[in-house]
Structures are given as structure tokens and as C-alpha cells.
Chains A and B, each alone.
Chain A
Amino acid sequence: MALSTEELEEAILAKAAKSPKPQLYIKDFYACDPETKPRAIKNVANGLVKQGKMVFWSSGSTTMYALPNRVKDEEHRTA
């Protein structure tokens, strides 16, 4: 049975916290619940960004997801 939205949010946050890579592609979260469609997982991940629990990291051509405390902060490095 597919995870509920809350369970999926927890699974995504846990994956983002445990992953050796600080930034993850949306596809990296598909494994959090193989029974949920990719588009639904994308909506939950984007919802976490809206709540401020994750951030988008974009190279300009690709967008990745990260926990705010794990991502490189160019703003302060270059200020």
C-alpha cells in the first residue's frame, strides 16, 4: 500500500539526511515509496520546499533537492 503524504514526507527527509550526497535528484526519492507515482512524489517533495524543510538547488539546467543545513551556501561564501 502506498505511503500517506506524511509518511512520504518523513521518508524523503530521512533520505535527504542520510544520503552521502547533500543534493539529490527527484528520482533519488522514487525509492522512498515504489508504489507512489513519480508525479505524486514530486508534489510531496515540492511541498516540503514550500514548508521550508527542504530547498531547491539549481544549476540553471537541473534542479536538485537538499536539506537547508546540508547545501553549500554560495551567498555567504562569496559575500
Chain B
Amino acid sequence: MPKHDTPLLDELEKGPWPSFVSDIKRQAEKKPECWDILGQLELSYEEKITHWKHGGIVGVFGYGGGIVGRYSDMPKRFPGVAHFHTVRLNQPSSKFYSTEKLRAICDLWEKYGSGMTNMHGSTGDMVLLGTTTKNLEPLFYELTHDLKQDLGGSGSNLRTPSCCLGKARCEWSCYDTQAICHHLTMHYQDEIHRPAFPYKFKFKFSGCPNDCVASIARSDLSVIGTWRDDIQIDQAAIQAYISGEYNSNAGAHADRDWGKFDIEKEVLSLCPTQCMRMDGDKLQIQTSECTRCMHCINVMPRALKPGKEQGATLLVGAKAPILDGAQFATMIVPFIKIDPENDFQEVIDFIENIWDWWMENGKNRERTGEAIQRVGLPAFLQVMNIEPIPQHIKEPRSNPYVFWKEEEVEGGWTRDVREFRKRHAQ
């Protein structure tokens, strides 16, 4: 029997898609506090204002993250959600876990929380939605001692590192994303569990430039697999695609007749740098012009593979819109070997250089990418001890950001600004 009338929410149960409203109603049969989620949300829809207050001092002993305090601003009317804290669990690399583990987590959450989860949150964590402060410590004890499951990051902490499927299931992965994700998660436990920075910081690892975890848009440090030699070509397989023997895109679009495969139209003319051509019946690729967009490899996976000399590109500074709008990461290091033999030390050195600079120079609530934007890329490159290269420049004619210093120019220069301003008014 519903505790609240929810005519507006009920609209969201119509249509062909799964509905979170139906899910919450089903859960409310077991956990009556869930009726108050619906009641409060209905009120928010009516009034067009949220009734959640977020933030607080809640947490578990020794940790400064992983629990996000949530409170209702109408606790008397909706007592079931007066305290409704969120718990973030660090997901296993690539989100591989057994159904046994998943059932155990869900059972524990039924015991200590609302039973509602978000699998997975946009942070990558397993998100457990809705519990009270008094349940946090017993929940945490059982999570860590019985299920061997730790909390993820929140607040001004290092956020839970996250990676694509990597070499576990993908032939295109240019490095072992799971290995580095797990290693850095263990290496930076203090930074994940306690605040360390002016604001949040996230690593994401993608094995190839398809970037299935959207690291280029969703992480402060994006590690994207790449190669620096030639794309591997199987010319016989190219002919098999042209003749129609092989389905393009591994048959992903085979549910409709798109006509005969046309390599010119579907591959060569769509290459963003026009670095490919057919030389008779041979496909030629000019590697120096290739931007590793992956389109040709995606279309003809049996004929083309990433090169053999593999590593990753490091990009810094992506963020979703908060103050200044969405921002993609900027390529900083075009190629670096990802080496598990030395515990990924080159990547760790790169990370720590960024942190040292950002902790000192970043403003409160300023993401790394925003700090770089504020001081300018040349200043950041200088701090990182990286020589500017043409690939750092987005638009050579409109943002020539590299300025010579006097000591770098033979003979130096002298400049009288007042004389200059007489001719060039500011």
C-alpha cells in the first residue's frame, strides 16, 4: 500500500523502458523507508526544487571519504530518508566480480541500508544508496572483514581509479589496464581514503584510443593505450572485407542491409588525417600522419591491428561541467611505456609532479585542468619539465601559446613598452 500519492512519478512507469520508480516501489515492499524517497521526489517534482541536503561529518573511523552524507530537509514529513547516506565501494578493476560476491554485498546492504544500489555509479564505484549514521560502522566492519571490500574515494580525495576491460577481454588493449589500475589503487590507499588535494582527482585507464571508459572526458589523468610503429595490416584480410567475405565492424551493423562494403567510402574517406590509400589492391597507411583514431581498425578488425610497439598517451585535465563547462583532457606526453616490471614508476613520477604543483598552486575547488587553463599550458609544461611539441598545439594559427624567452633567442632583445604602446594602443 503506497504511503504517498505519486501521480507525477507514476508517469515515469509508462513507456517501454525500465523505470527506477517501479524499482523503488518494489523495494519499498521490503524496506518501507523507500516510500519516503518517492514521497520526497514527488514533492520535488511539484515544487521544482530539491529536498536533499548534502554534506556533513559522517564517515567511518580513520577514513575521510567513501561515505557521502545525505539528509532530507523535511525529516518530519519523510522520516525514512531523514538520514540517507551514500556508501561508495571500490569496484574491482574492470568491474569483474563473482555473482557470489555481488549477492553477499546486496545481502549486507539489505541488512544495513535501504537495499537500493547504483551498479555502477558514474564514478565507477558500486554505490549503495541510503543508510543511517549508526549503521555505518557495523556495515564497514563486515564489508572489510567478511567481504574484503574497501570503500572508494569521495570529497577532495583521490577518486576510485577505474579502467576498461583491457587485456582481459580486448585484443586492442595496448597495456594491462587492470594491472596499473590495481597497482595505483593499492599504492595510493592514503590518498583514496583521506583528503589530500584542493579538489577531487581521478585516474582512468583505457587500453586503446577507443577509450571505452571515456577517460579523455572524465578524468584528471587519462592514460590511453597507443602504439608508435605501424598499424599491423593483413592485406589478404583487407581483400576479404572488400569482397564481402568478412562483415565490416565485426558484424555489428549486420542487422540491416547497408549495401556492399565500400572501403573508399567507409574507411579511406573517413580517415581524419587522410593518411590511408589503396595502392592497387594493397592498403597503405602513412603512420606519421595517423592520429590513432581507431576507425579503420574498428571497421576491419580482422585486417588491422594496433602496432607492436605499445604504450600509452598521458592526458591531463578533463572535467565535467561545474563552473567553467566541460573540458577534455590535454595531451601532455604522447607516448610512454607502461612498465609493470618497475611498478609503473614513470607514471607514478608523472602523477606526483602534477600533484606537487597542483597542491601548491591550485585554488580551492579548482580541478587540475582548470588550474592549467588559468596559468596556461606553457607554464604547466615547464613545471612538468616537458618540452613543448607541435602536438600540444590545438590550433596553430589561433593559439600560438609558446612564447620565446629572451635568453632563448640569440642576441636577446630590448623592448621599450612605452614606445611600443605609442604605436599600439592597449
CB <8 Å contact, B62 and A50: yes
Q: Give A63 to B105 CA distance when docked, in angstroms.
A: 27
Task: Report if A55-B57 is in contact (Cβ < 8 Å); known contacts: A26-B195, A27-B364, A78-B71.
Answer: yes
Q: Which of B3-59 contact A (CB under 8 A)?
A: 53-59
Q: Is B151 in contact with chain A by the CB < 8 A criterion?
A: no
A48 CB, nearest partner CB in chain B, Å? 12
Expressed in whole angstroms, the Cα–Cα distance for A74 and B57 within the complex equals 8
A35 within 8 A of B: no
Q: Is A39 an interface residue (CB 8 A)?
A: yes
B356 at the interface (CB under 8 A from A): yes
Bound-state CA distance A60–B66 (Å) is 9
Complex contact B364–A25 (CB within 8 A) = yes
Q: Does B369 contact A (CB under 8 A)?
A: no
User: Does A19 interact with chain B (Cβ within 8 Å)?
Assistant: no
Decide: A61 near B198, CB < 8 A? Known: A27-B364, A56-B59, A78-B71: no
Main secondary structure of the interface of A (DSSP, over half): mixed
In the complex, chain A residues whose CB is within 8 Å of the CB of B71: 74, 78
Residues 35-73 of A at the B interface (beta carbon under 8 Å)? 37-39, 42, 46, 49-50, 55-63, 66, 71-73
Which residues from A are CB-within-8-Å of B54? 59-60
Q: How far is the CA of A25 from the CA of B157 in the complex (A)?
A: 13
Residues of A close to B364: CB separation below 8 A: 25, 27-28, 62
| CB-nearest residue of chain A to B360 | A38
Which of chain A's residues have a CB closer than 8 A to the CB of B80? Answer: none
Q: Which residues of B contact A6 (CB under 8 A)?
A: none
Smallest CB–CB gap between A45 and chain B, Å?
8
Which residues, 337 to 364 on B, are CB-close (under 8 Å) to A?
Answer: 355-356, 359-360, 362-364
Contact (A58, B59) CB under 8 Å given A26-B198, A39-B196: yes
Closest to A50 in B: B62
* A57 shortest CB reach to chain B, Å: 5
**Chain A nearest Cβ from B371, distance in angstroms:** 12
Among A25, A37, A62, A73: residue with most chain B CB under 10 A:
A62
User: What is the chain B residue whose CB lies nearest that of A61?
Assistant: B200
B83 within 8 A of A: yes
Task: Give complex CA distance A57, B69 in Å.
Answer: 9
Asked if residues A38 and B68 are in contact (CB atoms below 8 Å), the reply is no
| Set B55, B72, B75, B194: member contacting A59, Cβ < 8 A | B55
**A60 touches which one: B68, B133, B194, B359 (CB < 8 A)?**
B68
Residues of B within 8 A of A (CB): 53-59, 62, 64-65, 68-69, 71-72, 75, 82-83, 86, 133, 154-157, 194-200, 355-356, 359-360, 362-365
Interface residue ranges, A against B (CB under 8 Å) = 25-28, 30, 37-39, 42, 46, 49-50, 55-63, 66, 71-75, 78-79
A and B contact pairs by CB, cutoff 8 A, 15 listed: A25-B156, A26-B196, A39-B196, A39-B356, A46-B195, A55-B57, A56-B57, A58-B55, A58-B155, A59-B54, A61-B154, A61-B200, A63-B157, A75-B57, A78-B71
